[in-house]
Amino acid sequence: MQAEPIVSAQGQCLSGPLLLTPQRFGDDRGWFFESWNQRRFDAAVGEPVAFVQDNHSRSSQGVLRGLHYQLPAAPQAKLVRASVGRILDVVVDLRASSASFGQWAGVELSAESQQQLWVPEGFAHGFLTLSDVAEVQYKTRGYWSRDQERAIRWDDPALAISWPLETLGSATVSLSEKDAQAPTLSDAQAAGEVFP
């Protein structure tokens, strides 16, 4: 497994998130790769990680989920991959003490590349479905908490995330009601709903 840090749209290396590329073995019959190996993952992120929940979603083209996170009282880290189709996966640094606070980075994850994105606590996470359909699977460190879950607006002008909307063809962005009503990062920070 190869692990590499990701760089924000502002050109700064984000401390924490990693793009993980598994070693794939293939021939004319097909391919094989390890989608999960505890020892290799712990070595890549530099700490032992105990996952407590696996999630699986299916989305049509144009569905945008996020930007989600859980407050520091019950934070949640994620290991994300697309097992069907393609998505643009985005992280936003919500650690107020970080030099990259408010910066974002996006990586395309696909069933073809088999790459995974490690999203540690302290980051908001979301994705846009680029293909006709995508299935996204992710492991979480920390259980989902209705009381601690929060979201940041996907189109917050201060973040200026470059969602590739031009690739959607006739599809339009489709949001949940909760995501459509999410506050901006500055509103979340003013409410004390970011990480220290």
Smallest CA-to-CA distance from 134 within 194, 59, 75 is with: 59
Per-residue model confidence (pLDDT) at position 17: 97
pLDDT at 185: 98
- 125 and 70 in contact (C-beta within 8 Å)? no
Residues in the chain: 196
Q: Contacts for 162-167 with beta carbons within 8 Å, 24 or more apart? A: 162/9, 162/106, 163/64, 163/88, 163/90, 163/128, 164/88, 164/128, 164/130, 167/130
Q: Quick check: is 68 catalytic?
A: yes
- pLDDT attached to residue 140: 98
- The per-residue pLDDT for range 175-184, each reduced to its tens digit, is 999 999 999 9
Please name the amino acid found at residue 2: Q
- For residue 8, name the pLDDT band (cuts at 50, 70, 90): very high
Inform me whether the pLDDT recorded for 169 exceeds 90.
Answer: no
- Domains of the chain by start residue, with CATH: 2-190 (2.60.120.10)
pLDDT tens digits, 22-79: 888 888 988 888 888 899 999 999 999 999 999 999 999 999 999 999 999 999 999 9
- When pLDDT is cut at 50, 70 and 90, the band that residue 109 belongs to is very high
* Catalytic-labelled residue, pool 56, 69, 138, 143: 138
Report the half-sphere exposure of 119 (CA within 13 A, side-chain side): 32
Q: For tokens 């569905």, what's the residue?
A: 63
Residue 148 confidence (pLDDT): 97
Longest Cα pair distance anywhere in the chain, in angstroms?
56
CA distances from 180 to 93, 155, 174, 177, 186 (A): 20, 10, 9, 5, 16
